[in-house]
Chain A
């Protein structure tokens, strides 16, 4: 699971609503996957990212400093885009869990694939 994905996921446990984001990340196995750098794609993703959540996840995985917010003129800042490319797309959590911050419910990640299934009585109607 990439950190871009983690940034787009939320808990859908009944009653938590927006307090279900971001999911707390815990990783037991992480792999770095080189992915071809595409500055245009990274630049397109920047406005969609929730920065606080990304910083928190990056810290959990000890990936080094992610800036508090996108730098001014980030579209043309290659160093910035390369850093974000690495953090968002090249770090792959193979084994771990995602935890709902409100209910504590755990969603397992195995073989790089999160399992978000819940029972009917656990989810929003």
Chain B
């Protein structure tokens, strides 16, 4: 997600290089924005460094050689020019001089103010794994969600992705296997709060942002055994499936298979018992997406990986879905998750003909089924190491 867009007029690794570069920029491209009838201002942006006002003014003065003919207006200029100085990414190691300097004409800002207004801190209804608002918008962007789309989240939780989708004018559906979460019942996830109030559910969250008209429905449902009619009607499926660490991966099972110590839910629910292998979950998710997405529709989801064993080949695959992007976010020293975006490019035919194609592929991901153990293995190793050195 971009912060701002500039039309680049020059750049260099030093002020001198920048000025040379600017002198080489075609004057006829500059003139429309510099003529005497217009107003302008120059801003200095530094990344990873703070400059004093004096230092900023020196830099602006150094640009006097540019053919500015208009008047300076600091309040509402017609044109804004920016000097961007890049001092690297390490806040503990800020260089004396910038690595790169750019000069350009400002065109537009990205919608980062959305992240603040949709912050999870302010939202009425949150869960243990509510995703940060910025990431929700990124996912919705990847899904190319637009007005009048239908968006579905099969692991909806508290509905964060539905809120972000509704913000762009999409109508939203969600399902979750957890009855209490869908109904907004049970222990609150916000510290200092005992029980979720009657206003804590997905519909209430949408209402909070004035997006209730986009709420279609939420259902208690097992994503492994969907109840959706087999037809293509979703424009996007955007979801953050459980990884089995904080929220467990579950699937409905038969009565006799309930292991000891497993909660039995009251009548209207169904006892949940079987652990759901991650690889099966993605197999089901891709198949479901291939069948119910419209052509051109997108599937966007997080794929947890154990980094030492990750290879690109293990990213789940389906003949009807084309991989558009695969972006990593580190979770710990040896685990990360990847934001996968896929687009439906082929009509879905009979499921059985894909089964043999998909099986080999999913064997590659099997290693990540024990994601939960691998996630914690780093922690237990470290604790063991510390205990050992304490004893020595």
Chain A residues within 8 Å of B, Cβ to Cβ: 1-2, 4-5, 7-12, 18, 21, 35-36, 38, 40-41, 44, 48, 50, 89, 107-108, 110-121, 123-124
Contacts and interface: CB of A to CB of B under 8 A. Distances in A.
Contacts of A119: 252-255, 270-271
Given A9-B228, A10-B227, A48-B231, 10 more contacts: A40-B148, A50-B229, A107-B227, A111-B183, A113-B183, A113-B217, A117-B221, A118-B252, A120-B251, A121-B254
A41 B220 contact: no
Interface stretch (B118-126, B171-179, B236-244): B171-179
Contacts of A21: 229
Given A11-B227, A21-B229, A44-B148, A5 B270 contact: no
Interface in B115-174: 147-148, 171, 173
Contact of B220 (A2, A40, A115): A115
Contacts, number: 93
Contacts of A40: 147-148
B154 to A, nearest CB: 12
Contacts of A2: 216-217
Contacts of B216: 2, 4-5, 89
A48 B147 CA distance: 17
B227 A116 contact: yes
B229 A115 contact: no
A113 B253 contact: no
15 contacts: A2-B217, A11-B227, A35-B213, A113-B219, A115-B219, A115-B268, A115-B269, A116-B175, A116-B219, A116-B220, A117-B179, A119-B254, A119-B270, A119-B271, A120-B253
Given A115-B179, A115-B268, A120-B252, A12 B227 contact: yes
B220 to A, nearest CB: 4
Secondary structure type dominating chain A contacts: mixed
Contacts of A120: 251-254, 257, 274
A4 to B, nearest CB: 7
B182 interface: yes
B218 interface: yes
B225 A123 contact: yes
Contacts of B179: 115, 117
Contacts of A124: 225
Closest 10 CB pairs of A and B: A117-B270, A120-B254, A115-B220, A116-B227, A116-B221, A5-B217, A48-B233, A41-B148, A121-B254, A120-B253
